[in-house]
Amino acid sequence: MNPSPPASATTTVPSPLFALHGRVALVTGASRGLGLAMACALAAHGATVWLNGRDAASLAQAVAQAQAAGQATGGGAHALPFDVTDEAAASAAVAQVLARSGRLDVLLNNVGQRRREPLDRLPTQALRELLETNLVCAWHLCREAARPMRAQGFGRIINVTSIAGPIARAGDAAYTTTKGALEAMTRALAAELGPQGINVNAIAPGYFATETNAAMVEDAQTLAWLRQRSALGRWGEPAEIAGAAVFLASPAASYVTGQVLVVDGGYLAHF
Query: Is residue 175 annotated as a catalytic residue, yes or no?
Result: yes
Residue 67: how many CA atoms within 13 Å on its side-chain side? 9
* CB contact set of 144 (below 8 Å; sequence gap of 6+): 90, 91, 94
Main-chain phi, psi angles of 193, to 5 degrees: -95, -15
* H/E run at residue 146: helix 137-152
Burial of 202: CB neighbours in 10 Å, binned 0-12, 13-18, 19+: buried
Q: For strand 76-81 and strand 106-109, is the pairing parallel, antiparallel, or unpaired?
A: unpaired
> What is the number of other CB atoms lying within 10 angstroms of the CB of residue 182?
24
Active-site entry in 175, 207, 255, 267 = 175
**Parallel, antiparallel or unpaired: strands 76-81 and 155-160:** unpaired
Q: Report yes or no: 261 and 244 within 8 Å, Cβ to Cβ.
A: yes
How deeply is 60 buried, as exposed, middle or buried, from its count of CB atoms within 10 A (0-12, 13-18, 19+)?
middle
Burial (CB count within 10 angstroms: exposed 0-12, middle 13-18, buried 19+), residue 205: buried
Active site residues per annotation: 175
